[in-house]
Every structure is written in structure tokens, then in C-alpha cells.
Amino acid sequence: MLQTVYRWIDERLEISPIIDHALKKRVPDHKHSAWYYWGGICLFFFMVQVVTGILLMIYYRPGPDAYDSVRQITYEIRFGWLIRSVHAWSANLMIGAVFVHMFSVFFMKAYRNPREFGWWSGLALLALCMVFGFSGYLLPMDELAFFATRVGLAIPDALPGMSQLISALLRGGPEVSSATLQRFFALHVVVLPAIFVPLLGFHLWLVQKHGNALPPSEEAKPAAERRSIPFFPNFAMRDMAVWLMALNLLALLVALFPLQLDVAADALKPAPVGIHPEWYFMSQFEALKLLGHVIPGTLGEFVGLGVFGVGMGMWAAIPLFDSRVTTSLRARLTTWFGLLFLAALILLTIIGYIEVL
């Protein structure tokens, strides 16, 4: 019966080559194999985001009723709190997993020829994830969301020429308001997914095309000594088990730390003490603050954003700089650059939290 159904579909859609590819595909098996699961973990959290996001849209009302609708979701609708908390926690976990995935790819040198486009599409996906996070943060329209967004938008606002553009495009006026909320909602549920999903498809296609990269320590081994396992079903089964672990972690966080709702936003009130951006923007926020002590005013922010731009450009250009497989000075320099970047990211985030808490 199944065979007949399969043949019927295959005659029309020609899926046999895809199935054959999945059956023949092998995944390297070595002591660093655990890092291969992180891409799948990101994908799992993204799927959770999609499902819970759709469920939230059933009750969420953007505009003047936004706060009230989130209050109903959190405190009145059966299991509404669960969907909202799962959505928020999985967003944070997804961004965390994308960071881990990015650094694991970096240190395993998996950006090298022919995987440059995998690296670039991955970076673009990370950037989109962060914009997802920023746009979603405002949607409850509570006090914390309102002031955090105001602070966030004020940073590029200080740059010459940017203010009007941001006012026109994102804020919908000189101040964060329900017009901003409408724009952020449209960005969050239409514009970003429309860019993200095809880009994700491209990224996954590249992974299938090039396969999993070997870390330098494995590449140095003779081919006969390298081990691998079939992707299907062996690796796929392990991947599923890791997804279950991720689900468990998510369930635990949601149970112990469910998302509450702050008081409704009031533009006339002063900003609460210790207002700060989400953890994934904290290092940039702190770097700008520290730079502001050295170069005060708009110039400081201008220089700061310039430094970010150059830094991100260098990070993206890594595959072009370190493209050779053999161990070289460039390869070592790149590793040190990655370690420096990772240390700065962690350190600035910690300093940021120490200052605001």
C-alpha cells in the first residue's frame, strides 16, 4: 500500500533523487560531532516560533488594544500564558543557539571553500533573528517594552540623516506610539518571515549540497581513519533526541520563569531605572556606552556604529581571508580573531548586566 502511494507520488513529483540523496548521505563521526547538532537545534526553535507565533496571532490585537490583548493572553485565556512564554523563551533560546552554531562553524573552519555562502547566509539569518527579537519585544506594549524600544531606536537616531528615515519608516512619527506598534507588527509577522524563510531554505540547501565540514584535526587524519555514520536514520534519530532535550529545556524554563506582563506603557512617565536592551544587544549597547565616555556626544555614537560596521564586515569577510585548508599564519590569526571577538562579546555583556542590575 505504502509502496503504491510512494510510486504514485514519485511518478508525479520525482522525489526519488531526494530520497536517494538522504539515504546515501553520511555525517562525520568524531569527538567534535556534538557541534553538528546546533544547526538542527536552531531549526527546532524556529519551528516552535512559527507555531506559537501563529497561535498568538489568533488573540493578539495590534494597535490601541495591544496591551489589553496580551494581558488577556497571559492572565485569562486558557494556556495563553503557555503559548506566550514558549514563544518568548524559544526566541531567546533560538538566538542563543544561533550564536553557538556560528562560533562552532567558525572554530571548525566550516566557512572555508566551498562553504562561503553558508557562512554569509548564516550571518544574515542571525541578523534577521535579532531584528525579529527587537520587533517582537515591543508588541506587548508594556512599560519595559516601550522604553527599551525608545532607547533602541534612539541609538541610530543620533546619526546625521538617520532620524527622519527612522521616524518615517519604523516609528511612524517622532515618538514610539501605536503607529510604531503597527509597523513593528507588520515587520515581525510579514516582512521578516518573507525574507527569513527563503534565506533559511537556501542555507539548508547549501548544508545538503556541501555536507558537514570536518574540523582541521579530522582533516589532518588519513581518509581511512575517518569515521562516519549514515544521515538517515542514524544521525536523524540522534538529531530528534537532541530536539527532545531542547524541548525539555524550553518546558523547564517556561514552567519556572513564565513571562509576566509589566504595567501598560505610559509615554508621559519617566523611564524606569535600569532600563536595558535584551541580552543579545547588551554587548553592543555596553560598547557604545564605554565609547561614549571616551568620545562624548553624537561623534561617539557615530564612531561606535562605524566600528561595529567595520567589525561586522571583517567577520563576514573571514572566508575570503582564511580560505586555505592547510594550517597557515592566516588560519591562526583568524582563530585568535574569533577568540577575541567571543571574549569581547561575553565580557561586554557581563559588564552591561553588572551596570544595570
d(CA 233, CA 282): 41
One character per residue 219-238, x = contact with other proteins (rule: CB under 8 A): ----------x---xx--xx
Q: How far is CA 333 from CA 56, 99, 318, 321, in A?
A: 46, 21, 11, 10
Instruction: Establish if 247 lies at the interface with other proteins (CB under 8 A).
Output: yes
Element (H, E) at 26: strand 26-28
- Which residues pair with residue 49 across a beta bridge? none
Q: Which of residues 59-118 bind other proteins (CB under 8 A)?
A: 74-82, 85
Q: Which of 162, 192, 259, 291 binds other proteins (CB under 8 A)?
A: 259
Q: Kindly write out the interface string for residues 17-56 of this chain, putting x where it contacts other proteins by CB under 8 A and - elsewhere.
A: ------------x----x----------------------
> Interface with other proteins includes 346 (CB under 8 A)?
no
Min dist CB 345 to other proteins, Å, is 25
d(CA 89, CA 176): 25
DSSP 171: I
Applying the rule CB under 8 A, the residues between 285 and 314 that interact with other proteins are none
Tell me which of 16, 248, 298, 327 binds other proteins, using CB under 8 A.
Answer: 248
* Shortest separation between residue 167's beta carbon and other proteins, angstroms: 35
Provide the mask over 172-211, with x wherever binding to other proteins is found by CB under 8 A and - wherever it is not: ----------------------------------------
Cβ contacts of 200 within 8 Å, gap of 6 or more: 43, 46, 125
Q: State the nearest-atom distance from the C-beta of 72 to other proteins, in Å.
A: 10
φ and ψ at 131, to 5 degrees?
Answer: -70, -35
| Binds other proteins by CB under 8 A, chosen from 127, 240, 307, 312 | 240
273 scored as a contact of other proteins (CB under 8 A): no
Which of 147/231 has CB closer to other proteins?
231
In SS3 terms, 206-242 reads as: HHHHHCCCCCHHHHCCCHHHCCEEEHHHHHHHHHHHH
The whole-angstrom separation of Cα 174 and Cα 163 is: 9
Count the alpha carbons within 13 Å of 155 in the hemisphere toward its beta carbon.
21
Note the helical H segments in the chain.
2-13, 16-24, 37-59, 66-75, 80-107, 116-138, 143-157, 162-166, 178-186, 192-210, 216-219, 236-256, 279-294, 297-316, 318-321, 329-356
Query: Which of 96, 156, 193, 258 touches other proteins by CB under 8 A?
Result: 258
Give the nearer residue to other proteins in terms of CB position, either 130 or 144: 144
Residues lying near other proteins in the complex (CB under 8 A) = 29, 34, 74-82, 85, 229, 233-234, 237-238, 240-242, 244-245, 247-248, 251-252, 254-256, 258-260
